[in-house]
Amino acid sequence: MVNIVLVHGAFVDGSSWSHVIPYLHAAGHYVIAVQQPLTSIEDDVAKVKVALGTIKSGPIVLVGHSFGGLVISEAAHNNPSVSALVYVAAFGFDQGESAGELGKNYAPLPSAQQFVADSAGRLALPQDQFLKYFCPDVEEKEAKIVAASQGPCDAVRFGYVAGPPAWKEHPSYYIVAENDQIIPPDMLEFFAERMKPKKTIRIPSSHAVPVSHAKKVADLILEAAEAVSK
């Protein structure tokens, strides 16, 4: 048995892993899907560290989607209990980088103009735009549920400057969502190439790859789990 900790990104919650988790359970693994507050990267990292601290034995595979990639990079730094990292259409920053600054190297996506702030200054996508840009390849009924339950996030995270990346310390795996309309696919390719992971897979998916291609995501996580269990 391997411990698998799943870390969602901004604009969703832990239920975004609901299609992936059954595959991991069927393989006999222990799974935690962290419910992040999305109030700041620091708060998200702290929540993941608490989850990691509840695991007392066995290897840990830490998985991050979207901004969850930044969170797992921060949480797993200098953490010997983590055995492997899996980045799912996720930010894989090096030290000193941020989403805002690195994003200037890529053509802006139309979705970037659609985010709106609530009265607390937290960002979300209007539900119709969420369906259009975040999860266009998810069945409509389910996509509407994901859109309705999205988690607004702080705007400050786009300027958060990454610390030393855990992907330089632990074996890593990477999934590129080739049809991503939230993070430019070229940026995802950049992360994957620079990270030099043990394995990269490319899926013709929207940003919601854990929902729309759950088995392929689970298969890579299981591959990482098998490698660390030996």
Backbone angles phi, psi at 186, to 5 degrees: -65, -35
- Look at residue 230 and tell me whether its pLDDT is greater than 90: no
What amino acid is encoded at 198 in this protein?
Answer: K
**0.85 exceeded by the pTM?**
yes
Mean pLDDT of the chain: 97
- Residue 169, judged by CB atoms within 10 A of its CB (0-12, 13-18, 19+), counts as middle
Instruction: Report whether 180 contacts 188 (CB < 8 A).
Output: yes
Q: Identify the structural domains of the chain with CATH numbers, from first to last.
A: 3-229 (3.40.50.1820)
How confident is the model over 104-162, as pLDDT tens digits?
999 999 999 999 999 999 999 999 999 999 999 999 999 999 999 988 999 999 999 99
Report the alpha-carbon distance of residue 205 to residue 101 in Å, rounded: 25
DSSP state of 106: S
pLDDT for position 70? 98
